[in-house]
Structure formats: structure tokens, C-alpha cells
Amino acid sequence: MRLPGWASFALSSLLFSSLLTGAVRPRYGGTLTVELSNAWTTLDPNSFKTALSVPIAETLVRVGSHGEIEPVLVVAWQHDPDFRRWRFSLRPRVTFHDGEALTAATAAPPLLAALKQTYSDVSIEAGGQAIVVHSDHAMPELLAELALPRAAVFRKSDTNALIGTGPFRVTTWDPGRRLTLAAFDNYWGGRPYLDSVEIEFGSGHGRADLFDIPVGPARRILPESLATWSSAPRALLAITSTNADPVLLQALALLIDRVPILNVLAQHKGEVAFGLLPQWLSGYAFLFQSTPDVMHAKQLVSSLRLGPTSLSYPADDLFLRSVAERIALNARDAGITIQPTSAGNGHLRLMEWPLESTDAANELGRIAEQLGASDRARQLDAAKPETLYQVERSLLDDHRIIPLIHVRETYGIAPRVHFQSPTSDPFTLHLEDAWVQP
Amino acid sequence: MGTTMNFRTKVFLSITATVILAVWIVAAVVSTLVSQSFERRDAQRTAALVSQLQREFERRGSDVARRVEAVANSDSVQRLAVNLVGPAGGQLDTSQYFAAAQTLAQEQSLDFLELVGPDTAIISSAEWPARFGYKEDWLAQPVDWKAQGVFLREEHLADGLALGLITVRTIAPSDKTLYVVGGQQVDSDFLASLPAIEGVRLELIRDFDMPQGLAGALVADVRREPRELKRVTDATSITAIPLEGRDKQLLAILLVENSRAELLSLKRYIQETAAAVGGAGVLLGLMLSFWTASRVTRPLRDLASSVREVALGKWDTRANVGSSDEVGQLARDFNGMTEQLVEQRDRMIQAERVAAWRELARRLAHELKNPLFPLQITIENLQRARAASPEQFDEVFRESTSTLLAELDHLKTIVGRFSDFAKMPAPQLERVDVNQMAREVVHLFEAQLQAPGRPRVETKLQLAAEVGEVLADPDQLRRALRNLVLNALDAMPQGGTLTIRTARHDNKVALEVSDTGEGLTPEEVDRLFTPYYTTKQHGTGLGLAIVQSVVSDHKGTITVHSEPGQGATFRIELKANA
């Protein structure tokens, strides 16, 4: 007998929890094989936007599972009252994979490049194990910025190989096809359990120890013994437009039935989205919740002289294609002709917005920037949670974006694979916590 | 006057026309029979084609039914049906079956497949996956779907409506029913998948307003009255088959366009061959008719030539008797006729000679008898005077010898006239002024006409100035004119009017001498120029004969026009000297 989706999810989580409660003691050694459906073409930390963490390079700090900032490569930091000057103390005895010690001088260049993307006038002073960050403008979100993957500290070798300070080092790298990692014995946090990790991209056989289960209607038959792990919703599926009539988007937001999209097309891997940030991240997403109102949508578009409207989706994404077709079907109920297209120049765009961090303000600000609403981004104040709701509300009222669902990432995990504490971070699955039974 | 068509041409044209008519009739009959045969064959081919299509539709329908049945009986669908009525019942999350229809449709090669729940909401759709959750209300009808079989139905697709051969199967483990709706799309690909028939084009019309021309008219007719209709042109025959749905609504029209190019090509080939054979036949007929006409008419032409020869006086001409048929008999008859004519001519000549000699003898006897009688009387008077009155004998002798001499002179004159007629010389031609000659002859007779006691004869000269000259022997022509004047004067013993006219007509000169005498009867006119024939009491009958002889020697003609009581007019025509 096959269980419903929610029951399978609950059972797999329960099984997974039992694996980490100490029923089996962790052991060192072994190789973990991984299959990922999306092919990586670069190891740039900024491009890692999956729930599976591949810890080659590390950031100075990170956002914990409850939103708190945790130190990684630093052990302490201070800032002046107006957040213009920050001083960080680097963790001692941290070395890169090639044995070079982590110093302020080696950490400063990649940090400066990352921070320049947000703070144009930022400057960094490096001295010994201390890094001082200056700016003429206040940088209250500096820690969140430093927690982003793009702010990872790394170097590149003469052969352009990535050299970080993380628990795994790169041994072979065939872009788009294969990545092999080896345990970094001198990792400052202690050697990881695994000896090595072999990652294959785009194979999709499901025979590896760990593999991702892409969201979408294509149902993969999984062995009964296989455990799964699903992240917290960490990508927003939404419709955006910069040139369509806002009334059209308002009508579409009213008539699109999100529940079937989530339950059927996304196979329950996520949550219906009426807001930009997921409920777990913002805490107020339920305030935007509504039900489809086709009649109201019809009234809205009745005064419009609408021609066929194209809705573009990524050409190779079958899930987004099925969502686009469903939206077109819903739109037809209101007399709106939507033509799904894989060409990239549609009036409307269906796209996924992956969350990069667990910092709500940072993520909302990033969405606002991408929507061309920088002014709203500047209104965000992490210290004032109400500004998040106000900014998100105003962004939604602009009718430039229609949130549809927030999508989880799901991974299949072989029975021999165990994680030290998989549920401690619902946002990320840490490879350094994994170990395998022989 | 039009050109007279000769007999051979007539025969040739008649045979030719007959041949052409026969060939045309044969060609027309052949063409008609070929056309009728081809039309029958085309009709049979179209009927067979339509029947084949209908069988193919039925076969495809059976195939669809079999495949949908296989889907309904598949494990996954049966499991879904059981789950629907299981503990979860109506709360069953059917999302996991979202892609089931696509997989099953792919397995069974079905274009349409929908798994529809008891509430008629689509659980999974192969043709339009995004349509899950939508209702198929038509399935709620109380229908025995299995008995319904396969039917045509318009199915919703993302890009519009599509026509499909649809069948429905139901799975009802309890009071809840799972519907399996499957089928095959009927479109251009479907038509292309049908067994190809050379020269046949199939077209599925779903937009009834789209076809133009003949097809458009046919579609319009079928829309008005949905039934199979056919239209035929030279190039194609189009059969329209209405495709109706379960509720008899017209969903589409299948146009079966059957090219008649092959038939037309074959028909054209036969007709061209017939035309070539006909042309050759006509040509052969022409040659044959020419040969036949020549062969058939040759004896007739020979006969006609013989007739012409006979007409020209060659009485001994004989027609060639080459056959024993009617023409040969005609030639034999002709030869017999000519032989009889020759015999009759000879007898006539002989008779005429006898008559002429008799007439001559009579005339000579008559002419000679008159002078001889005075000679006899005179000599008897001399004898009686010698015997009775010797004293007066001298005087009687003198008077008698005078009379004898006069009568002998008369006899000499008569003999001279006969002698002159007998030895008419050949004319010595020279240029003669006709008017001048007419004046001279009239002048010659003036003294005689004005002699006292003679009945008055008025002379009129009506001479045309443009008459000119002729080439003639002046003495002979003058003699002829003089004879005509004498003849005219003899015809007017009581007096009258003598008229001499000259005229010119084209290249001929006419000379007329008219009198106002008693005229002549037609019989007299006919014999007027016969030698020794005369209507006068005293005459040799040679005057007009001499005139005719002179005119004839000058290649001229002489005619006479006379009626009793109206006088007579003699007209001589000679060739003018240009």
C-alpha cells in the first residue's frame, strides 16, 4: 500500500530522526556517493544555492537555524554605535587546504570583493588576525552579508583550483560532470567523518547514497527503505512582470488556484505562497493568505482589452512548464488567454527565487532589489520586524510579482548514510555531519 | 456561273463524307462508352474507398477500445479505483496519480487518456496534464459506457479543441466509479496513418468556414443536411463524410478527394489513340475514296468522253466496255445506240441525197422546162411557117431565131447559176468597210427600185458609225448582201420598206437586211438555207444557200428572224477587224 505524500514525509522524518538519536554510533571513513540533478559548472561559493552544503570554503559567520548569527572563521566582532566600523578577530590555527594559515591578509581580498557588491565605499584593514571593515554608511546588516555564500573566504591555486578552509577539499573537478572531495584532516573544527565524497551531476539514476529529488509532477518510484530529507521551503515560485498591466497580474493573483499546483504539480513539496517570504522565515506570511476569486478576477479584466499574453518559463524545466500550463488553464476560466512559452521574452515570467540565507530582511531586500524597488529595500530594518511586513505588503500591492508556492528541496538518503544532527538546520543538509556504515 | 463539280469529285466527296461520318460516329460512341466506363469505375473506386475508410475507422475504434480496456484493467488503475473506495475514500490524495495517465497513454499509444474520479473531476490527464481537478460533467450522464462503444468527441487541449475517437470504461468496485476516458486524436496525422491510397487525399474539415470553392460548397451542403455527399469535377471527385458525435452533432467533415488524373490520363490516351486511329481511318478513307471514285467513274468518264466524241461528229466512237455491271451495260447500250445512229445517219444522208437529187432534178426540169417550151413552140412555129407560109418564113425565122437565142441565153443563165454555186471559190480576205459596202449595194439597186411601174420600195440605211471594218472577200460579201437585198425585194412584190442596218457588239459586226413582206413560217425558216429550196415561183433556191456559204466561209453566222405577216430580218455576224 502506498502512503499519501504527507504521511510519507512524516514517516521519513521520523525514521531519519531515529538514525541520529544515537541508535548507531558515528564512525569515520568511507565514501559518500552523491547524485545531483542540476549540473554545477563552477565551484564559486556564491553559486551554491542548494540545501545540500558542500563545505569547501567558509564564511566568517553564518546564520543559524533560528536566525541567530554564529561565528565560523571569526571568534569575535565589535562595531561602533552607528555600524560604520566593524572589527573581526579571526579564528586562530585555521589553515587553508594547502596548509597556508588563515590570516587577515589572505581573508581580506575575497571579503572586500563580496562586500563591494552591497557597500560600494567599503574598505578593509587587515592586520594580523584582525580585520576592520569601514564604510561611510551604516552597515547594520554586515553580519548577514558576511554570512552569505558569496562572502566565503577562499583562494585559488595556480591551476585555478578552489582552496578553502572547509572540512572538505577538492581532489578532482570535472565541471558539470563530477566533483570529488576528500576530508580535510587539519580542519579547525575537526576532521569530518567521511574520507571522501563523490558527486555526480545530472545522472539521475538514484543509485547513489544521497540524491536530490527534484520538485515536480514526475514521480520517482523510491525503495521503501529509503529515507528522505526535505528542507524548509527555500525557493519562491512566482510570476513576475515589468511590463504587463498590473491589473492583469492582480487578476491572475486572484484566480490562480495555488493548492493544486502545490499538491499535484509540486507533489506537496512546499507551501502555498501568498507572500514573498515563507512562513517559517517571516512568521507573518499567513496574513497574505486568500482564496481564489475568479469572479473578482473577471471583473478586473473586463475593462481591459487584453490580447494573448505569453508566460515564459525555462526551456528545460518540466515542472515550471506544467505550472505555466496550469496557470494558463486557470486564466482561461476568467477569459484571459495565457500562452506558455519556453522563449525567454514573455510578457510574464515564471521563475524560481531561491533563498540564499535564513535572514528574512536580507532575502526580502534582495527580492525588492530584483523587482527594481530599491527604495523599499532601504526601508527594511532588521531591528524593526514590522518593516518587513510593510515592505512585503507594498511589494505585493505593486502587482509586479505573484507568489505561487514556496518550494522545499528533498533528498533521498540511503539507509547506510547517517547524519549527526540533520534536523538541527532545516535549511541546509551538512555533508560534514554525514557518516556511512560500511 | 459557278464551277460545275464533276462526277468524280462528287463521288469522292460523298465517300469521304461517309467515311468521316462513320469515323466520327465510331469515335463518339467509343468516347461515350469510355467515359461511362470510367465514370462507373470512378464511382466504384470512390465507394470502395469510402467503405475502406469506414472500416478503417471502425478498426481504429476497436483498437482504441481495446487499449482503453487495457488501461482500465491495469494494476495502477485498478489500485487507484480500490484506493478511491478504500479507507481514505473521498479523502484520497490523488495527486500521486497526476502523471499516471501520461504513462499509461504512452504505454498504450493513446493520444487521449483521462482518469476521472467519481465526482467527475479529472485525476490525471494525458492530453492536458494541467487540467487535473477540472470536471468532466458529461460523464455524469446515466450511460452504459461500454455499450456506447467508441464515439467521436471534441476534447479540450491547451491549444484548443481536438477531435478524438473516444471510449469510456468504468471501474466501480463499490458505489463509486472511476472513469477511464481514452482515445485517439483524429487529425491530419491520424489521416496520414491510414493506409495510403494512391491518388486519394484526405482532409479533415473542422473549421467549416475555411474551405473554398467546390469543397466549400460541399461542406456547406453537408452542414445543412449531414449526409454523405459527392461532387465530381474533371480533375477530382470529392466525397464529404459527416463525422458526428454521440449526440449526432456535426463535429467534422472528412473530405475524400479522389484524383481522377489517372483516369483522365487513360481516357485521354484512349481518346487520343481513337483520334489517331480515326485520323488514319479518315486519311485511308480519303485515299480509298479517291481510288474508288477514280475506279468507279472511269468507265463513266470514258463513256462521257465517247458521248462528247459522238457529239463532235465522230459517229464511229465506241465506249470501252470494261465490266459486266450496269456501267458496262450502259457502255454496251451506248455503243449500240451509236451504231444505230450511224446507220440512221447513213440512211438519212442517203435519203437526203436522193431527195436532193430529186429536188435538183425537179428544179432543173422546172428551170429547163420553161425555156424549152418556148423553144419547142418557136421551132414548131418555124416548121409551121415553112410549111404554111414560106413567104413569111423569113420574118418568122427572124423572129423565131431571136426568140430561140433569147431562150438559149436564158438557159445559159440558169446553167451559169448552177455552175457558180458549184464552184464557189475560197474567199480572198481584205479589209472591208461594211457601211460603205451597204451603201454601194443600195446604190446598185436604186435604178431598179425607181423604175416606173415598179411597186414602191422605200430604202432605209441605219448604219452605225462605230462598225468599222471586217476581214472579208469583198466580192463574195457584196454578192451575199446583194442576194439578201434581192431576196427582200422578191418578198415585197407589193412594195414596202427595205432596211439595212449595221451594228457592232464587242468584237463582232452585225449586218441586217429587213423587209416588210409577208414573212416566213417556222418551217420555211428551218429550210430557208437549204440549196434549191425556194418559196418563190421562179427561183433556183440557190440565193440564200450562196449567202450561207459565203458567211460560213468567212467564219460568220447568219440567222433569220421572221413571223408570218411581220416581214423577215436576216442578220449576218462577222468578226470585226480589230
Contact B130 A218 (CB under 8 A): no
Number of structural domains (chain A) is 3
Domain contains A294: yes
Contact B132 A322 (CB under 8 A): no
- pLDDT, position A29: 93
Q: What is the CATH number of the domain that holds A425?
A: 3.40.190.10
Each residue's pLDDT tens digit, B78-117: 888 888 776 655 567 788 888 889 899 999 999 999 999 8
- Residue B445 has φ and ψ, to the nearest 5°, of -95, 0
Local structure of residue B30 (DSSP, 8 states): H
Note whether A142 and A179 are same-domain residues. no
Asked if the B425-575 domain carries CATH number 3.30.565.10, the reply is: yes
- On chain A, the residues whose CB falls within 8 A of the CB of B132 are 260, 264
Quick one: A252 exposed, middle or buried, by C-beta within 10 A (0-12, 13-18, 19+)?
Answer: buried
Note whether A260 and A384 are same-domain residues. yes
CA of A221 to nearest chain B CA: how many angstroms apart? Answer: 11
Could you give the percent of chain A with pLDDT greater than 90?
47
Note whether A243 and A313 are same-domain residues. yes
- On chain B, the residues whose CB falls within 8 A of the CB of A325 are 128-130, 158
- pLDDT, position A393: 94
Q: Is residue B381 within 8 Å of B398, Cβ to Cβ?
A: no
Distance, C-alpha A173 to centroid of its chain: 23
In B423-531, which residue ranges form alpha helices assigned H by DSSP?
434-449, 474-491, 522-527
Contact B95 A325 (CB under 8 A): no
Of B96, B99, B131, the CB nearest to A2: B96
Domain's final residue, options A154, A178, A212: A154
A385 and chain B: CB distance < 8 Å anywhere?
no
Each residue's pLDDT tens digit, B154-167: 988 887 889 999 99
| CA atoms of A163 and A171, how far apart (whole Å) | 10
Does the interface ipTM go beyond 0.85?
A: no
pLDDT band at A105 (very low <50, low <70, confident <90, very high): very high
CA of B132 to nearest chain A CA: how many angstroms apart? Answer: 8
Contact B96 A219 (CB under 8 A): yes
Of B99, B128, B131, the CB nearest to A219: B99
- pLDDT, position A218: 58
Domain contains A159: no
Each residue's pLDDT tens digit, A215-258: 876 555 666 678 889 999 989 999 998 788 889 999 999 999 99
Domain contains A161: no
- pLDDT, position A122: 94
Lowest mean pLDDT among A390-404, B186-200, B495-509, B523-537: B523-537
Q: Give residue ranges of B with CB < 8 Å to any A CB.
A: 88, 92-93, 95-96, 98-99, 128-134, 158
Q: What is the CATH number of the domain that holds A249?
A: 3.10.105.10
**Domain enclosing residue A216, as ranges:** 5-56+166-231+410-436
Each residue's pLDDT tens digit, A247-279: 999 999 999 999 999 998 998 899 999 999 999
Note whether A138 and A280 are same-domain residues. no
Q: Is residue B530 within 8 Å of B541, Cβ to Cβ?
A: yes
Of B93, B99, B130, the CB nearest to A329: B130
- On chain A, the residues whose CB falls within 8 A of the CB of B134 are 329
A218 and chain B: CB distance < 8 Å anywhere?
yes
Lowest mean pLDDT among B177-191, B381-395, B489-503: B381-395
A260 and chain B: CB distance < 8 Å anywhere?
yes
| CA atoms of B4 and A394, how far apart (whole Å) | 116
Distance, C-alpha B540 to centroid of its chain: 64
Contact B96 A4 (CB under 8 A): yes
- On chain B, the residues whose CB falls within 8 A of the CB of A2 are 96
Note whether A15 and A150 are same-domain residues. no
- Sign of the CA dihedral with A53 first, then A55, A57, and A61 last: positive
Q: Which residues does A262 contact at the CB level (< 8 Å), separation at least 6?
A: A268, A270, A271, A272, A405
Please say if the pLDDT value at position A316 is more than 80.
yes
Lowest mean pLDDT among A44-48, A75-79, A243-247, B125-129: A44-48
Domain contains A41: yes
- pLDDT, position B417: 72
- On chain A, the residues whose CB falls within 8 A of the CB of B93 are 4-6, 263
- pLDDT, position A416: 92
pTM of this prediction exceeds 0.80: no
Taking all residues of chain B, what is their mean pLDDT, rounded to a whole number?
Answer: 83
Closest chain B CA to residue A322? B130
pLDDT band at B532 (very low <50, low <70, confident <90, very high): low
Note whether A270 and A367 are same-domain residues. yes
Contact A264 B98 (CB under 8 A): yes
Contact B98 A267 (CB under 8 A): yes
Of A6, A217, A257, the CB nearest to B98: A217
CATH T-level fold of B73-191: Beta-Lactamase (3.30.450)
| CA atoms of B448 and B517, how far apart (whole Å) | 18
Closest chain A CA to residue B130? A326
Residues in chain B, overall count: 578
Closest chain A CA to residue B124? A264
Domain contains A82: yes
Q: Which residues does B523 contact at the CB level (< 8 Å), separation at least 6?
A: none
Domain's final residue, options A86, A120, A154: A154
A155 and chain B: CB distance < 8 Å anywhere?
no
| CA atoms of A280 and A235, how far apart (whole Å) | 12
Q: Tell me the pairing of strands B469-472 and B430-433.
A: antiparallel
Choice between A159 and A167, residue whose per-residue pLDDT is larger: A167
- pLDDT, position B143: 87
Local structure of residue B537 (DSSP, 8 states): S
Choice between A249 and A356, residue whose per-residue pLDDT is larger: A249
Note whether A263 and A398 are same-domain residues. yes
A294 and chain B: CB distance < 8 Å anywhere?
no
CA of B93 to nearest chain A CA: how many angstroms apart? Answer: 6
- pLDDT, position A1: 35
Note whether A214 and A250 are same-domain residues. no
Give the position of cell 572589527.
A87
Note whether A38 and A79 are same-domain residues. no
| CA atoms of A401 and A404, how far apart (whole Å) | 9
Could you give the percent of chain B with pLDDT greater than 70?
95
Q: Three-state SS for B168?
A: strand
Please say if the pLDDT value at position A10 is more than 70.
no
Please say if the pLDDT value at position B2 is more than 50.
no
> Per-residue pLDDT averaged across A116-144, rounded?
91
Measured CA to CA in angstroms, residue B468 lies from A175, B347, B475, B502, B553 at distances of 137, 46, 18, 10, 20
Domain contains A203: yes
Q: Is residue B84 within 8 Å of B93, Cβ to Cβ?
A: no
Domain contains A424: yes
- pLDDT, position A179: 93
CA of A425 to nearest chain B CA: how many angstroms apart? Answer: 28
- pLDDT, position B68: 94
Choice between B485 and B235, residue whose per-residue pLDDT is larger: B485
Domain boundaries along the sequence of chain B: 73-191, 326-420, 425-575
Note whether A271 and A385 are same-domain residues. yes
Domain's final residue, options A133, A154, A175: A154
- pLDDT, position A254: 93
Closest chain A CA to residue B93? A4
- pLDDT, position A157: 82
Contact A264 B134 (CB under 8 A): no
CA of A201 to nearest chain B CA: how many angstroms apart? Answer: 25
> Per-residue pLDDT averaged across B312-322, rounded?
79
- On chain B, the residues whose CB falls within 8 A of the CB of A260 are 132-133
Domain contains A298: yes
CA of B178 to nearest chain A CA: how many angstroms apart? Answer: 18
Please say if the pLDDT value at position A64 is more than 70.
yes
- Sign of the CA dihedral with B21 first, then B23, B24, and B28 last: positive
Each residue's pLDDT tens digit, B204-228: 888 877 777 778 888 888 888 888 8
CA of B36 to nearest chain A CA: how many angstroms apart? Answer: 55
| CA atoms of B574 and B427, how far apart (whole Å) | 14
Q: How many CB pairs under 8 A join A and B?
A: 46
Contact A267 B96 (CB under 8 A): yes
- On chain A, the residues whose CB falls within 8 A of the CB of B131 are 329
Q: Which residues 53-92 on chain A approach chain B with CB closer than 8 angstroms?
A: none
- On chain B, the residues whose CB falls within 8 A of the CB of A4 are 88, 92-93, 96
- On chain B, the residues whose CB falls within 8 A of the CB of A267 are 95-96, 98
Please say if the pLDDT value at position B134 is more than 50.
yes
Lowest mean pLDDT among A44-53, A326-335, B497-506, B555-564: A44-53
CA of A369 to nearest chain B CA: how many angstroms apart? Answer: 32
- pLDDT, position B219: 86
| CA atoms of A374 and A365, how far apart (whole Å) | 8
Q: Tell which residue, A106, A20, A128, has the closest CA to residue A57.
A: A106
Of A217, A267, A268, the CB nearest to B129: A217
Instruction: Convert chain A into a string of H (helix), E (strand) and C (coil).
Output: CCCCHHHHHHHHHHHHHHHHCCCCCCCCCCEEEEEECCCCCCCCHHHCCCCEECCCCECCEEECCCCCEEECCEEEEEECCCCCEEEEEECCCCECCCCCECCHHHHHHHHHHHHHCCCCCCEEEEECCEEEEECCCCCCCHHHHHHCHHHCECEECCCCCEECCCCEEEEEEECCCEEEEEECCCCCCCCCCCCEEEEEECCCCCCCCEEEECCCCCCCCCCCCCEEEECCCCEEEEEECCCCCHHHHHHHHHHCCHHHHHHHHCCCCEEECCCCCCHHHHCCHHHHCCCCCHHHHHHHHHCCCCCCEEEECCCCCHHHHHHHHHHHHHHHHCCCCEEEECCCCCCEEEEEEECCCCCHHHHHHHHHHHCCCHHHHHHCCCCCHHHHHHHHHHHHHCCCEEEEEEECCEEEECCCEEECCHHHCCCCEEHHHEEECC
Please say if the pLDDT value at position A421 is more than 60.
yes
**Which of A2, A264, A319, A330 to mutate to test binding with chain B, by most B CBs within 10 Å of its CB?**
A264
CA of A264 to nearest chain B CA: how many angstroms apart? Answer: 4
Note whether A239 and A216 are same-domain residues. no
Highest mean pLDDT among A14-23, A403-412, A415-424, B229-238: A403-412
| CA atoms of A269 and A9, how far apart (whole Å) | 9
Each residue's pLDDT tens digit, A370-400: 888 888 888 887 778 889 999 999 999 999 9
> Per-residue pLDDT averaged across B245-255, rounded?
87
Residue B69, H or E segment: helix B7-72
Q: Give me A149's grid cell.
A: 555564500
**Other CB atoms within 10 A of residue B530 CB:** 16
**What residues are paired with B16 via a beta bridge?**
none
